Amino acid sequence: MSGWLCIAGLGPGDAQLVTPEVSAALAEATDIVGYIPYVARVAPRPGLTLHASDNRVEMDRARAALQMAAAGCKVVVVSSGDPGVFAMAAAVFEALEGQAQWQALDIRVLPGITAMLAAAAKAGAPLGHDFCAINLSDNLKPASLIEARVRAAAGADFAMAFYNPRSVSRPHTFERILAVLLELCGPDRLITFARAVSTPEERIATVTLAQARADMADMRTVVIVGNSATRQVGRFVYTPRSVATPVLP
């Protein structure tokens, strides 16, 4: 097979945060596949075909990319951030299962800077110790599982990074998560709202859980909740790397 498939992360938004490895793959590609706003970040050029699709057809997108690569195309499947974090890498490998004719393809995953890490860097170092990342969208998993995982993470005193916290179709989910966090972590726990990091619309705000409101987040926001040791120093938030005596809820 002469074609190949790269699953690439475009980073959080700023073109300077796209890795040279990803830029080289985009320059060589014949076809770009991805969600509409992510494909729009790739500049058109002669010899390049852009295949943009809706965000609810990940498996169709993955199969189409594999088919094109098998036919000899040089395909880049694009995601924002890192393709392995709530993005297209998992969908491509799921589509690959049971398809022996595609498993010999040249397939590479090219990492990118995640929205979570870009947001943490802007805030300071809120993920400086053990942390977890949880996608709050219930499109692909039940809301009950989301809440169970948030409760488990809070109970273990992890710092937490939340993706997709609040959408127009589910405005009340994040309200429930904030109530759970307030119950388990207390009113003084620090929470950072990082919206559209590295873009002109960037907005960073750190408050306590007592001050947090659901409408402070949308689908372009990453929310970072500190652990019991997280604190502010000037305008920065950080979580110490050392733990003397863990303080569990």
Contact indicator for 236, 230 with CB cutoff of 8 Å = no
Determine whether domain 116-238 maps to CATH 3.40.50.2000.
no
The tokens of 231 are what?
A: 């604190």
Q: Measure the CA–CA gap between 107 and 84, rounded to whole angstroms.
A: 14
Q: Which of 70, 139, 82 has the alpha carbon at shortest distance from 109?
A: 82
Find the mean pLDDT for residues 172-198.
96
Q: Is the pLDDT of residue 216 over 80?
A: yes
Provide the percentage of residues in the chain whose pLDDT is more than 70.
97
Q: What pLDDT shows up at residue 136?
A: 95
Q: How confident is the model over 79-133, as pLDDT tens digits?
A: 999 999 999 999 999 999 988 889 999 999 999 999 999 999 999 999 999 999 9
Bigger pLDDT: 245 vs 213 = 213
Q: How is the chain split into domains, by residue range?
A: 4-113, 116-238
Q: Is the pLDDT of residue 247 over 60?
A: no
Dihedral sign of CA atoms 86, 91, 97, 102 in order: negative
Q: How confident is the model over 39-77, as pLDDT tens digits?
A: 999 999 999 999 999 888 999 999 999 999 999 999 999
The H or E element containing residue 95 is helix 88-96
Q: Kindly report the CATH class assigned to 4-113.
A: alpha beta
What is the pTM (predicted TM-score) of this model?
0.90
Q: Is the pLDDT of residue 1 over 90?
A: no
Mean pLDDT for all residues in the chain: 94
Q: Measure the CA–CA gap between 150 and 155, rounded to whole angstroms.
A: 8
Find the mean pLDDT for residues 196-214.
96
